[in-house]
Amino acid sequence: DEQRAEDAARHVALRVDGLLGSLLICTVLYVAVSLVVTGMQHYSELSVDAPLADAFKSVGHPFWAGLISFGAAVGLTSVCMILLLGQTRVFFAMSRDGLLPRTFSRVHPRFATPYRSTLLLGLIVAVVAGFTSIEELAELVNIGTLFAFVVVALGVIILRRTRPDLPRSFRTPLVPFVPIASVLASLWLMLNLPAETWLRFGIWMVIGFVVYFLYGRRHSRLDRPADRT
């Protein structure tokens, strides 16, 4: 058992290193592409919808602009799939903990996937995407993601103080300075979003609170002593 625990911790550490390394590589690539694009065309003249393709068009390369647009469309498809896969697993975990109805934790007998939540979320996403502009959806995703970053950063500070005994395969350095910087940066980005985005975000938060207080709070396994241990 001790050897298994050590192997599991080693695997988690490798995954964390790989995740941080991939984020660093992506950051360098994004900065490099931004520098190249602003060298091709002044930033004030770049298209908001498709800046990279527009920059190639402006220098007389329509073929590469079309190829970039095609690649962006393919990339967006993969991003949508990843987001759907992640959200269905979140619903699965919340349902298993009693915060959502049990139907969201039912898995397919053959594929072993939460197919009901996948179908429901796919339908909701299709309807919302059909009646909402890409700019509004992007801003709503941004504010939701930034709020999640704020919650995670605050959770690091709280758990480090309230549960210092928990085993941690990865420890955030320079606590509480790094989490506080993350909270401030995320809040600053959130404050730069339009008021309409805040209104939509508030509506979703109200819906979430209603679901929690009407269903999740009474069915949560965290309130049961047997499940807590």
Into how many domains does the chain fold? 1
Residue 119 lies in a domain: yes
Residue 72 lies in a domain: yes
| Structure confidence at residue 225 (pLDDT) | 55
Residue 146 lies in a domain: no
Mean of all residue pLDDT scores within the chain? 84
> Distance (Å, rounded) from C-alpha 223 to C-alpha 229?
11
pLDDT in tens, 87-104: 888 888 888 888 888 888
Residue 98's domain comprises: 60-131
Residue 225 lies in a domain: no
pLDDT in tens, 139-171: 888 999 999 999 999 999 998 888 888 877 777
Residue 122 lies in a domain: yes
Q: Can you spell out the DSSP letters for 98-160?
A: TSS-GGGG---TTT-S-HHHHHHHHHHHHHHHHHS-HHHHHHHHHHHHHHHHHHHHHHHHHHH
> Distance (Å, rounded) from C-alpha 154 to C-alpha 174?
14
pLDDT in tens, 170-215: 778 888 899 999 999 999 999 999 999 999 999 999 999 998 899 8
> Distance (Å, rounded) from C-alpha 100 to C-alpha 217?
10
The CA-based angle 132-133-139, given to 5 degrees, is 100
Residue 70 lies in a domain: yes
Residue 74 lies in a domain: yes
